[in-house]
Amino acid sequence: MDYSEKVNKLLEQGILPDENSLNELDKESEKELKQNQENNNQEEQVVKKNSTEYSQELKEVFKDDDQVRVKIVYNYDKPSKKRVIQDFVKYFNHRYKGLEKIIKQRPEMQSLMSINKLNLKSEKEKVSIIGIITEKRETKNNHIMLKVEDQTGVTNVLISKNNTELYPTAKDLILDEVIGISGSVGKNIIFANEIIFPDIPLNRELKKGPRDVYAIFIGDLHFGSKEFLKDEFEKFIKWINGELGSKEQREIANKTKYLFVMGDLVEGVGVYPNQDEDLVIPDIKLQYKLMAVYFEKIKKDKKIIIIPGNHDAGRIADPQPALYNDFCQALEILDNAIILSSPSMVNIESTEDFSGLDILLYHGYSLIYYADNVASIRAAGGQKRVDLLMKFLLQKRHLAPTHEANMYVPDADEDPLIITHVPDIFVTGHIHRAMAEQYRSVTIMNTSCWGDITENQEKRGLEPQPGRVLALNLQTRKVKIVNFYTRKEKKKSDENSKDSDKMNEEKKQTK
């Protein structure tokens, strides 16, 4: 369209559009934008509906499209409202009941009973309970003592340091998670022999799509930042359109039908103190306009699925609703985009004979808390081991099981952060490190970033891996990492990245 072409010419000349030039182009393109809005009226109406209606509408919108097959499994779009203390109580009750239902299915829970009935049991008798951890401490003899609560009462649970198998697991237990416990009864205490997590079933099917197509995953773009990797991102746009790269690389791009963008689309404004010093575009609306210019170049046969991050316009607290339209109206020109919440879940590639692949999308606001507070993960490298962080959340079947892990909104009707439905693919961002692994039947990935490595990040011990793209073959479930970062790497980051950062290196494949 004319608007995009004119802005592109400015960019090609090395001129970064300012507010005046963009506003002028807006006026010139007003008629075209109105026409575009009319053409996309059907999809705009879909976005305004609640998640259930939204899912049904999308099934109709895309049912005749043999190129992309997208269904919305879950999208949080409840309106904001005043919250009261009772909402927190209901929220945690929903969490307990949801995770209790999962744990009850485990065979270790055959002798399950409620806490208020423990006093009916004789000492040393075997019992099983399900509870939420409200306290955790280390005794003077270095045993671990828990206080565990269900909806009927509270009891103490002791994990002996002499239990060499269970003790390391107990060291990583966190407050507010829901667990199952098997052990023997004492006076007002249970001596634990086993701890049961909700976790991912071991015997779950590893699904593979029917077509040889790719889904691409990127995140943390940070448009508007002085550190934005403009040259690298422009190369990515050319690559995904099949205009750049080797024969194999272009083949991947041409087979790409889905592009997932995992939040932090823009740098934002006022996200942290003195952020204005790091901005080349100080207006968040203009940041989204610049993003729209780039994304409008992507071929329309690729469906773009977008979720927000903590730098984006809107509520920071989890669950984050879709981007606030008041700030990012410029994205309306992206008629091949679907904008969802964080977390959300989509199903792609379904047919009459194949149920499709479920993809859980979460920006990852809680990840840093667990990198700092889970002993084994912290010792293994903290944020550098985002694979361990994501496996940890899958084991808990919750995206932020600890009250202090993130800002959240207590929903009195549900806990949207429970991983009720096991995904085939689980993707996060936020940590700025490219990673792909397999945990049981789930492909886990964390996306890279598109901002250069800063001195501030180095001082804090962070080691981002900028400019990487995750390419998932939906038929084989293999992941390739494509590296567009052409600048000289910091020595320390380069040593840690090594072979995993080579262009098109195969990071992990399903055996």
Length of the chain, in residues: 511
What local confidence, expressed as pLDDT, does residue 154 receive? 96
* Burial (Cβ within 10 Å: 0-12, 13-18, ≥19) of residue 396: buried
Distance CA 169, CA 159 (A): 10
The verdict on whether omega for the bond into residue 282 sits within 30 degrees of 0, i.e. cis, is: no
Q: What is the dihedral of CA 243, 246, 247, 250, to 10 degrees?
A: -40
pTM comes to: 0.84
The 3-class secondary structure across 435-497, one letter per residue, is: EEEEECCEEEEECCECECCCHHHHHCCCCCCECEEEEEECCCCCEEEEECCCCCCCHHHHHHH
| Bridge-based pairing state of the strands 479-483 and 468-473 | antiparallel
Q: Which of 451, 416, 415 is nearest to 432 (CA)?
A: 451
Alpha helices in 156-283 (DSSP H): 166-171, 230-240, 247-254
CB 459 within 8 A of CB 446: no
- Residues (pLDDT < 70) of the chain are 1-67, 454-461, 488-511
Residue in this structure with the two tokens 């009261």, named with its chain if needed: 84
Alpha helices in 362-437 (DSSP H): 367-373, 375-380, 386-396
What local confidence, expressed as pLDDT, does residue 459 receive? 66
Which value, in Å, is the radius of gyration of the alpha carbons in the chain?
Answer: 24
What local confidence, expressed as pLDDT, does residue 383 receive? 92
Digit-coded pLDDT (tens) for 125-178: 999 999 999 999 999 999 999 999 999 999 999 999 999 999 999 999 999 999
Q: What domains, with CATH codes, occur in the chain?
A: 1-39 (no CATH), 40-75+211-498 (3.60.21.50), 86-196 (2.40.50.1010)
Angle at 230 between CA 228 and CA 234, to 5 degrees: 140
Distance CA 304, CA 258 (A): 6
